[in-house]
């Protein structure tokens, strides 16, 4: 019998790829959102459940009734920048608490969408460079916006759930998600300030989906954060030039150059046996690529 997984945030574009990836990989997938997102009914193997994840009792009952082996909690607001700050913070923190605690009580493995925003670089771009490069999981988190702060709080919730219920929880700090044939990052590559918030990093949605699956199968205990990013940056110039132009300096401890990503995925590679395989050099030109269905 296939392992079962409950995936929240069905209206998020990345989740459509994620549910397709897990479905094709043999998982018994149940997708959750307030209403059925487009594309879910195209895969009759993917079940759908409607639920308000900010309601604790409704969320707990949902997880109990589905009884999944694993839970993947994705973003509560697919585009947090479009919403008022307090709504972003309240919605993301409340839903993370409700979903993760319900999953922990149900003895389910957990992966959830944290973010590179937890580092706060997007708000300090042009003022404060990273303390060192490449940024890894140990780099200080210093968010200055509701979204990034909610992710830091969510990681504290993840740690609490792991300790209290003795379940493995992966906080995936993903970079800017790109889609084959639709690489927005390439549209802003000439504007260094626009990409300085994550030092011009990105991740292909297919690599993100594989990272989620690897985190559900990973051999680790407790709560662990993992950076998920492409191996390269999306610039057409050496990254050290972009750093000097944007921040007037390169961090004293700097081990990136040329096409290197500013975000290290060494931990995910060593612990989860995951590696990014997609690059903008090929993926940005792809056509007719859709989420997997078979």
Domains and their CATH numbers in the chain: 4-283 (3.40.50.720)
Cα(255)–Cα(173) distance, integer angstroms = 20
55 secondary structure, DSSP code: -
Three-state SS sequence of 182-222 = ECHHHHCCCCHHHHHHHCCCCEEHHHHHHHHHHHHHCCCCC
Estimate to the nearest angstrom the gap between the alpha carbon of 237 and the chain centroid: 26
Query: For 268-286, how does the pLDDT look when each residue is reduced to its tens digit (9 = 90+)?
Result: 999 999 999 999 999 988 8
Q: What is the pLDDT of residue 29?
A: 97
Task: Report the pLDDT averaged over residues 56-82.
Answer: 85
Structure confidence at residue 293 as a pLDDT band (50, 70, 90): confident
Q: Decide if pLDDT at 85 tops 70.
A: no
How many helices, marked H, and strands, marked E, lie in the chain? 11, 9
Q: 216 or 34: whose pLDDT is higher? A: 216
Across 123-127, 140-144, 282-286, least confident range: 123-127
Q: Decide if pLDDT at 87 tops 90.
A: no
Q: What is the pLDDT of residue 129?
A: 84
Structure confidence at residue 110 as a pLDDT band (50, 70, 90): very high
Q: What is the pLDDT of residue 77?
A: 60
Q: 189 or 220: whose pLDDT is higher? A: 220
Residue 94's Cβ-count burial label (10 Å; 0-12, 13-18, 19+) is middle
Q: What is the pLDDT of residue 223?
A: 98
């Amino acid at each position: 019998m296939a392992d079962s997984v409950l995936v929240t945030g069905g209206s998020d574009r990345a989740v459509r790829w994620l549910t397709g990836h897990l479905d094709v990989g043999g998982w018994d997938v149940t997708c959750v959102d307030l209403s059925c997102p487009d594309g879910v009914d195209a895969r009759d193997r993917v079940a759908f459940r409607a639920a308000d994840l900010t309601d604790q009792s409704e969320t707990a009952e949902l997880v109990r009734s589905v009884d999944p082996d694993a839970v993947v909690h994705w973003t509560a607001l697919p585009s947090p920048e479009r919403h008022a700050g307090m709504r972003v913070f309240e919605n993301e923190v409340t839903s993370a608490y409700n979903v993760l605690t319900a999953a922990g009580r149900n003895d389910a493995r957990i992966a959830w969408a944290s973010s590179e925003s937890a580092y706060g670089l997007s708000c300090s771009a042009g003022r404060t460079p990273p303390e060192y490069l490449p940024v890894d999981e140990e780099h200080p988190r210093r968010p200055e916006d509701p979204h990034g702060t909610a992710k830091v709080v969510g990681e504290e919730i993840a740690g609490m759930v792991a300790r209290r219920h003795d379940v493995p929880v992966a906080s995936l700090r993903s970079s800017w998600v790109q889609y084959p044939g639709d690489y927005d990052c390439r549209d802003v590559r000439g504007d260094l300030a626009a990409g300085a918030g994550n030092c011009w990093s990105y991740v292909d949605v297919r690599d993100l989906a594989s990272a989620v699956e690897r985190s559900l199968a990973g051999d680790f205990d407790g709560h662990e954060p993992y950076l998920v990013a492409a191996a390269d940056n999306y610039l057409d110039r050496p990254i050290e030039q972009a750093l000097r132009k944007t921040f007037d300096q390169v961090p004293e401890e700097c081990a990136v150059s040329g096409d290197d990503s500013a975000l290290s995925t060494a931990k995910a590679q060593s612990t989860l046996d995951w590696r990014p395989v997609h690059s903008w050099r090929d993926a940005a030109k792809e056509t007719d690529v859709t989420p997997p269905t078979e």
